Structure 1
């Protein structure tokens, strides 16, 4: 949940800075972060035609999005990409929250003996 929240904050910041010259769109690779937390290797590319659109891993695992259509002012935010990523991440956040709420409700019912 915390990782999804952090990603939502980054994506919202990208959208807010869509018109800021020189702003670099930031994101994090959710699958890589989960794999790192679980001690597994991240998802790998299986074909040479696959490409990464996140480059430049920083100390806190923040990456910068490589734009599909670079702008002249150096801003790498592509509003359609950011909105799509934000919507998807928000949906996954809400799905996780719903799952956890149902799981907790089921446990509470079992504890009460209903």
Structure 2
């Protein structure tokens, strides 16, 4: 009987990928806190998760625009990366990054990533036990 990793691992691989991409975006916001005209971005987790699940169900195919391009890969934030509505008034340079908000969101995202990693680790431990015949 074949093991379906999609069923065995559940949503956790998708959530980890989304959290990883969100960490990159939040880190970019923090790095550009003093860049004039920079607009803070974020990922809508709900939209990204729906996109990841639909890509999984549709086979996650890619279109190559040139025969020399490599095939494969996954990009989850198609259409789900958005500019954040600023919480503060414009400071005159057009930058919409609130450094305290970005730091808090980054820490929260890191905690959620660690939670998904812990759940995924538990799933792998369970699979390892099942494969080695240590059920129960």
Question: TM-score, normalized by length of structure 1?
Answer: 0.76
How many angstroms does 1:59 deviate by?
6.0
Deviation of 1:100 after TM superposition, in Å, equals 0.4
Deviation at 1:72, TM superposition (A): 1.6
After TM superposition, give the deviation of residue 33 of structure 1 in Å: 1.6
CA distance in 1, matches of 2:98, 2:104: 10
Structure 2: gaps (5+ residues): 1-15, 55-76
CA shift at 1:35, angstroms? 2.7
Structure 1 ranges of 4+ moved more than 6 A: none
2:111 equivalent among 91, 101, 110: 91
Higher RCO (CA < 8 A, seq sep 6+): 2
How many positions carry a matched residue from both structures? 96
Is 1:111 the equivalent of 2:131?
A: yes
Give the number of the structure whose alpha-carbon radius of gyration is greater.
2
RMSD: 1.8
Residue ranges of structure 1 left out of the alignment (5+ in a row): 40-57
TM-score by length of 2: 0.65
